[in-house]
């Protein structure tokens, strides 16, 4: 198979060609490995290759799996493969070799996917950019001076650059949607709890995070959602298709400056949505964002401390300051002081504080916002050695719209709608818990009226 042909295939098309014998799984995997060697020196999206594991994995598959032989990239955070290095983007974890394969990766393999490499991620997923001290910055395929976003930045850059048509990802505050927006991909965060998280826990980041994938095509994302997600908790689409009530909300998101192209993307989406018959309404809903933020910091600090404490136990020693980035160290120290009472109160309060948003979405259909408040940041613009509160504020200035959907456990997606100075600009759409299929349906309506997005590295 020619690399040029490979780059035109999404997951669905590649699986079809393998099934019909047009190409072999080995050819597809070799194309992916060739693409790594071609573009990764510029992007730094791939941090660990596992071609030997790929061969063993392929040999164990039956050939009857729906995605038999399609090469897959694995995020190097929380998505482990037995016997393969698992760094979590941290110097403290840099020598870790995974003792088990995570349930999400096992699910992907059971569908026929073949993991070939692991992708770049910030330390413990604590940044909206992917620029860890251990692994170095992951660069945007549209502009290598800019970030690919975080924390699934390596996965997004690799998929956008055509290394594979799919990579695993996770989202605890926007970590699928932010990189997707930066790299011109469709990004989807399912309703919390719908996808596998084990074997160590039944929820990620105290319920804030969810596992899923990044794909080059919308149809692949929807197909994988139907294969992976717990369908018993997904609301079916109504049989009678009616115009949707779509809200542009104020008061729900942090009040920060929003770049003109990001606002223009929303205006374009509004025009398109009205054209196909949907209703757009502006509404004000007050949420106590400071109280919500305090709850989230408590939960993240507790989870960060736990992850580091488990690693200390495995290493048989304490973590040192020079093994963790300053922001991570601050979360770690704060986590040490959190009592079980404070943790549970934070979790319960977060649930109560986000209830007004749930009530609103039970009476309406969809929330529309920009995906980001800024264009993709330049490399080193957001630094983990910044003062802690300043660092948190800069994250919010970049992405004030994504995290509330994690905090409320809601499904949300980002969709590129325009280009500005050769950079993709996306919108975000969110819905009520379990209304994931409604978002996919709306995405398909919009997608049919939008251009395809390909980074410069593919031209």
In sequence order, which residues have a C-beta less than 8 Å from that of residue 402 and are 6 or more positions away?
A: 173, 174, 177, 178, 371, 412, 428
Rounded to 10°, the helix 355-363/340-353 angle is: 30
In sequence order, which residues have a C-beta less than 8 Å from that of residue 378 and are 6 or more positions away?
A: 145, 146, 147
Residue 333: per-residue pLDDT = 98
pLDDT digits (tens, 9 = 90+) for 22-51: 999 999 999 999 999 999 999 999 999 999
What is the sign of the dihedral through the CA atoms of 114, 118, 121 and 126? positive
What share of the chain has pLDDT > 90, as a percent?
95
In sequence order, which residues have a C-beta less than 8 Å from that of residue 454 and are 6 or more positions away?
A: 184
Distances (CA, A) of 260 to 47, 159, 265, 414: 35, 27, 9, 18
CATH, domain 245-286+361-458, list 3.90.1300.10, 3.10.20.600, 2.40.30.10, 3.90.1150.10: 3.90.1300.10
**Largest pairwise CA distance in the chain:** 62
Instruction: Report d(CA 54, CA 300) in Å as an integer.
Output: 34
Specify the fold of 3-233. Amidase signature (AS) enzymes (3.90.1300)
Helix/strand/coil (H, E, C) string of 301-312? HHHHHHHHHHHH
pLDDT digits (tens, 9 = 90+) for 173-228: 999 999 999 999 999 999 999 999 999 999 999 999 999 999 999 999 999 999 99
In sequence order, which residues have a C-beta less than 8 Å from that of residue 328 and are 6 or more positions away?
A: 90, 123, 124, 126, 304, 308, 384
Residue 459: per-residue pLDDT = 39
Arithmetic mean of pLDDT, 423-448: 98
The residue assigned the tokens 């280009």 is 419
pLDDT digits (tens, 9 = 90+) for 361-379: 999 999 999 999 999 999 9
DSSP secondary structure, 203-224, as one string: SBGGGTBEEEEEESSHHHHHHH
Residue 241: per-residue pLDDT = 87
CA angle 206, 210, 213 (to 5 degrees): 160
pLDDT at 2 over 70: yes
**β 166-171/210-215 pair status:** antiparallel
Residue 454: per-residue pLDDT = 77
* Whether the model pTM is above 0.85: yes
Q: Which of 336, 346, 343, 327 is nearest to 307 (CA)?
A: 336
pLDDT digits (tens, 9 = 90+) for 84-107: 999 999 999 999 999 999 999 999
Q: State the pLDDT confidence band at 458, using cuts at 50, 70 and 90.
A: very low
Q: Which of 125, 85, 213 is nearest to 403 (CA)?
A: 125
Instruction: Report d(CA 256, CA 439) in Å as an integer.
Output: 26
* H helix runs in 8-134, sequence order: 11-19, 25-43, 51-60, 103-110
Going from N- to C-terminal start, the domains of the chain cover: 3-233, 245-286+361-458, 290-350
**β 187-189/412-420 pair status:** antiparallel
pLDDT at 156 over 80: yes
The residue assigned the tokens 């398109």 is 272
Backbone angles phi, psi at 426, to 5 degrees: -120, 160
Q: What is the token pair recorded at 138? A: 């992951």
pLDDT digits (tens, 9 = 90+) for 269-303: 999 999 999 999 999 998 999 999 999 999 999 99
Arithmetic mean of pLDDT, 377-387: 98
pLDDT at 264 over 70: yes
> Would you give the distance in Å from CA 312 to the centre of its chain?
28
Q: Which of 46, 49, 302, 78 is nearest to 169 (CA)?
A: 78
Residue 451: per-residue pLDDT = 84
Q: What is the token pair recorded at 355? A: 């209830």
Residue 453: per-residue pLDDT = 84
Distances (CA, A) of 159 to 37, 145, 180, 196, 216: 14, 18, 10, 22, 6
Q: What is the mean pLDDT of the chain?
A: 97
CATH topology identical between 3-233 and 245-286+361-458: yes
pLDDT at 457 over 60: no
pLDDT at 456 over 60: no
Q: Which of 52, 46, 112, 61 is nearest to 82 (CA)?
A: 52
Contact between 304 and 332 (Cβ < 8 Å): yes
* DSSP element (H, E) containing 267: helix 260-275
């Amino acid at each position: 198979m020619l690399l040029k042909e490979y780059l035109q295939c999404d997951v669905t098309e590649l699986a079809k060609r393998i099934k019909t014998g047009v190409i072999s799984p080995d050819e597809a995997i070799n194309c992916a490995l060739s693409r790594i060697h071609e573009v990764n020196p510029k992007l730094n999206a791939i941090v660990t290759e596992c071609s030997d594991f790929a061969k063993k994995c392929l040999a164990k598959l039956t050939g009857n799996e729906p995605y038999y032989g399609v090469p897959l990239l694995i995020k190097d955070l929380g998505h482990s493969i037995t016997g393969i290095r698992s760094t979590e983007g941290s110097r403290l974890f840099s020598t870790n070799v995974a003792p088990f394969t995570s349930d999400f990766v096992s699910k992907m393999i059971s569908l026929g996917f073949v993991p070939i490499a692991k992708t770049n991620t910030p330390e413990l997923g604590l940044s909206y950019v992917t620029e860890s001290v251990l692994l170095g910055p992951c660069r945007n395929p549209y502009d290598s001076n800019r970030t690919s976003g975080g924390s699934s930045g390596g996965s997004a850059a690799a998929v956008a650059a055509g290394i594979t048509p799919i990579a695993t990802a996770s989202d605890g505050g926007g970590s699928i949607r932010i990189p997707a927006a930066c790299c011109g991909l469709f990004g989807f965060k399912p309703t919390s709890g719908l996808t596998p998280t084990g074997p160590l826990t039944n929820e990620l980041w105290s319920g804030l995070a969810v596992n899923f994938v990044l794909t080059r095509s919308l149809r692949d994302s929807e197909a994988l959602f139907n294969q992976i997600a717990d369908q018993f908790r997904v609301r079916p689409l109504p049989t009678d298709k009616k115009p949707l009530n779509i809200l542009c909300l104020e008061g729900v998101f942090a009040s920060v400056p929003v770049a003109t192209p990001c606002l223009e993307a929303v205006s374009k989406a509004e025009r398109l949505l009205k054209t196909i018959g949907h209703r757009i309404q502006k509404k004000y809903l007050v949420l106590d964002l400071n109280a919500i933020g305090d709850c989230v910091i408590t939960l993240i600090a507790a989870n960060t401390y736990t992850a580091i404490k488990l690693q200390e136990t495995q290493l048989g020693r304490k973590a040192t300051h020079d093994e963790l980035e300053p922001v991570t160290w601050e979360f770690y120290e704060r986590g040490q002081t959190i009592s079980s009472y404070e943790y549970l109160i934070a979790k319960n309060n977060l649930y109560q504080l986000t209830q007004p948003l749930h009530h609103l979405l039970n009476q309406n259909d969809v929330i529309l916002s920009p995906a980001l408040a800024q264009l993709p940041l330049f490399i080193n613009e957001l630094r983990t050695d910044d003062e802690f509160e300043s660092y948190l504020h800069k994250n919010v200035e970049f992405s004030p719209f994504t995290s509330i959907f994690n905090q409320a456990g809601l499904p949300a997606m980002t969709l590129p709608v325009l280009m500005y100075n050769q950079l993709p600009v996306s919108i975000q759409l969110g819905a009520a818990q379990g209304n994931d299929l409604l978002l996919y349906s709306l995405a398909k309506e919009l997608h049919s009226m939008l251009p395809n997005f390909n980074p410069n590295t593919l031209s």
